[in-house]
Every structure is written in C-alpha cells, then in structure tokens.
C-alpha cells in the first residue's frame, strides 16, 4: 500500500475523466439526479482528480466551474472544461461564501479529519448553497474491501482510505452548521451488463457500495 498522494500520481496517466467502473457510475447517477434541481453561478468540485464532475457542474448554469485536487498529475491528465487548481481539501484557497454548490466525489476517504474537511467545504458555500459529497459506504470497512489499481508496468497497488461511519458524516455535517437534506445509499444495479457486477453480486449479494450526502447552508 502506498500513500494516497503517491498513489494518485502513479494512477493519473491511466485514470479516465469519466465514470469508468460500476461503482462510479452508480455514484454519479445519484449526483446527476441531485444536481438537476440546482442552479448555480459558481461551482466547486473538491478532489476533482481527472475532472469528471466539471462538465456535470456546468449543467447547473454555472459560469465559473473550478476543480481542486492535491495531485498535479491528476490535474494535468484530466479532461477538458473548468478551471483547475492544485490545493488541499483541508485548506481551500478561496474566499468564504464564494460558491453556490460544492461537490466532492469519493475523495473524503482520503481525509482523516472528516469534520475539518466538511467544515472547510461549508465555509466556501454561500448562504443557501448546496454541498453534495460521496464516500465509500461503511460496508467497505465491514467487508475489508480494498481500493486497487494497476500502474503502467502492471503492478497492482492499493490506495489507503479512512473509513467513516454514517454517524461520523452526520456529526460532521451538523458541526459545520449545515442542514441535512438527504442521504442516499445506492447499490449496484442488477440489470448492469458489466460482468464485474454479476461477479460482485454472486460473491457479496447486494450491499450498498457508496453513500451520498446532500446538505444546505441555511440563509
């Protein structure tokens, strides 16, 4: 297992700027449904990686779309669209209240200080703004699942992540002064033609694989 930053630097050349596996597709479908009802002028994606959420944030009508990531390699290999900024999610380089919507897709597991990270994203929101973020479901820790990828040389590496319980998330959201709107715990779809989904369901059944939180900063 290698440190998260080093892992993303190695992963970046082969990391597509789209949802490239069943878990990511499942997660993104939830975000798409949540964002349909949101209109924004400025939008921020924290832990943007290859920037797969930047085009989605543009559908809110935002004229300013920004992606932040701590890996320069991920930013450099990302897809088109949006402004890219290298920064740490725990210390965002923006003025307070700048964004109408902030997203963070499957990056919160890279952060031990969940409360501090959610508080920092909340601070970047304007009053009435929306925070939507996802994490690997707590079922990952219960079942001892790992995040893995192959380097260009074919080496299989594991990426560490910090497991957080649902209660941890709810506590962090409340501590940041946000009002919880919804919690989604999607499962892989049974009609997905991907053979990996069929193999997963045969082995593990149908547990939730991600959790998605939607909260609002009260006016």
What local confidence, expressed as pLDDT, does residue 3 receive? 87
6-34 pLDDT, tens digit each? 999 999 999 999 998 999 999 999 999 99
User: Domain spans of the chain?
Assistant: 4-217
What does the radius of gyration of the chain's CA atoms come to, in whole angstroms? 17
For 195-209, what is the mean pLDDT? 91
For 35-61, what is the mean pLDDT? 96
123-153 pLDDT, tens digit each? 999 999 999 999 999 999 989 999 998 988 8
Predicted confidence band of residue 178 (pLDDT cuts 50, 70, 90): very high
99-111 pLDDT, tens digit each? 999 999 999 999 9
* Residue 23: other Cβ atoms inside 10 A: 20
Give which of 165, 34, 181 is closest to 103, Cα–Cα.
34
Which homologous superfamily does the CATH classification assign to the domain defined by 4-217?
A: Vaccinia Virus protein VP39 (3.40.50.150)
For 37-46, what is the mean pLDDT? 96
Q: Where do the DSSP E strands lie in 19-145?
A: 42-46, 64-69, 83-86, 99-104, 125-136
């Amino acid at each position: 297992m290698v440190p998260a930053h080093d892992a993303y630097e190695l992963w970046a050349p082969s990391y597509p700027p789209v949802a490239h596996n069943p878990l990511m597709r499942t997660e993104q479908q939830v975000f798409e449904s949540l964002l349909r009802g949101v209109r924004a002028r400025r939008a921020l994606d924290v832990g943007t990686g290859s920037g797969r959420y930047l085009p989605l944030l543009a559908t809110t009508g935002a004229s300013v779309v920004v992606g932040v990531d701590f890996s320069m390699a991920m930013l450099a290999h990302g897809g088109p669209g949006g402004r890219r900024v290298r920064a740490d999610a725990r210390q965002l380089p923006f003025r307070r209240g700048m964004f109408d919507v902030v997203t963070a897709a499957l990056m919160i597991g890279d952060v031990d200080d969940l409360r501090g990270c959610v508080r920092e994203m909340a601070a970047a929101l304007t009053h009435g703004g929306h925070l939507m973020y996802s994490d690997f479901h707590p079922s990952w820790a219960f079942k001892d699942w790992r995040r893995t990828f192959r380097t260009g040389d074919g080496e299989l590496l594991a990426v560490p992540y910090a497991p957080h319980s649902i209660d941890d998330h709810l506590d962090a959201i409340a501590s940041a002064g946000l009002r919880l709107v919804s919690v989604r715990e999607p499962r892989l779809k049974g009609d997905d033609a991907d053979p990996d989904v069929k193999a997963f369901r045969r082995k593990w059944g149908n547990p939730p694989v991600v959790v998605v939180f939607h909260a609002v900063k009260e006016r």
